[in-house]
């Protein structure tokens, strides 16, 4: 009898939970703030590419210098210049690779900093809509998350997008210092 009572209790709990879902990718693809954010990221990225491009040009220039020394007469002095220039080129290439890795990290940090206010706002709105519609859980249908919904009228994506168009904070090109 106790087992039957426990099963009945679990069944009632399962029936009282209401699941909804939001298509987070669609929210971010649709809201107008993303245009500003993408523009800010593109400007930032172009600055990074310009800097990396200059480093690549410097390496190319040094390599041409190396080839020029190499095409001349072979003496002890030119052999020493070749070794020094070769080591310098290797060092410049290593530094460029480190700079590329750092640039990628900086770009990801910039993207996170720009997205954070929107993420916080969207999460707050999802929570508010979920409570007002009586959902106990909202799942994201982003590519990495699994969800299951047999009823499309539990999708609150359109509600979030409407709020984002009407009331969301403006995206700034650079995050405010804390």
Distance between CA 33 and CA 116 in Å, rounded? Answer: 12
Count: domains in the chain: 1
Tens of pLDDT, residues 75-118 = 999 999 999 999 999 999 999 999 999 999 999 999 999 988 88
CB distance 92 to 58 below 8 Å: yes
Which region among 8-12, 100-104, 129-133, 151-155 has the lowest average model confidence (pLDDT)? 8-12
| Residue 176 falls inside a structural domain | no
| Residue 1 falls inside a structural domain | no
- Residue 35 domain boundaries: 18-167
What is the mean pLDDT of the segment spanning 135-146? 69
| Residue 158 falls inside a structural domain | yes
CATH number, domain with residue 141: 3.30.910.20
| Residue 5 falls inside a structural domain | no
| Residue 105 falls inside a structural domain | yes
Q: Which of 20, 15, 13, 14 is nearest to 134 (CA)?
A: 20
Give the HSE-up count for residue 45: Cα atoms under 13 Å, Cβ half-sphere: 10
| Residue 9 falls inside a structural domain | no
Distances (CA, A) of 43 to 86, 161, 170: 35, 26, 18
Question: How would residue 51 be classed by pLDDT, with cut points 50, 70 and 90?
Answer: very high
Distance between CA 125 and CA 115 in Å, rounded? Answer: 15
| Residue 119 falls inside a structural domain | yes
pTM, rounded to two decimals: 0.65
| Residue 75 falls inside a structural domain | yes
């Amino acid at each position: 009898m106790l087992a039957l009572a426990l099963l009945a209790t679990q069944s009632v709990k399962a029936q009282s939970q209401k699941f909804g879902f939001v298509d987070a990718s669609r929210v971010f693809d649709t809201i107008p703030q993303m245009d500003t954010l993408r523009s800010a990221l593109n400007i930032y990225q172009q600055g990074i590419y310009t800097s990396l491009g200059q480093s690549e040009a410097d390496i190319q220039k040094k390599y041409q210098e190396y080839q020029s020394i190499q095409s001349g007469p072979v003496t002890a002095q030119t052999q020493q210049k070749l070794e020094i220039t070769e080591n310098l080129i290797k060092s410049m290439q290593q530094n460029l690779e480190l700079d590329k890795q750092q640039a990628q990290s900086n770009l990801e940090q910039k993207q996170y900093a720009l997205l954070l206010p929107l993420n916080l706002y969207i999460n707050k709105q999802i929570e508010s809509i979920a409570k007002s519609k009586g959902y106990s859980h909202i799942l994201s249908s982003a590519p990495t998350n699994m969800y299951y919904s047999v009823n499309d009228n539990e999708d609150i994506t359109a509600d979030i997008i409407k709020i984002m168009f009407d009331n969301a904070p403006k995206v700034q090109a650079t995050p405010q210092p804390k």
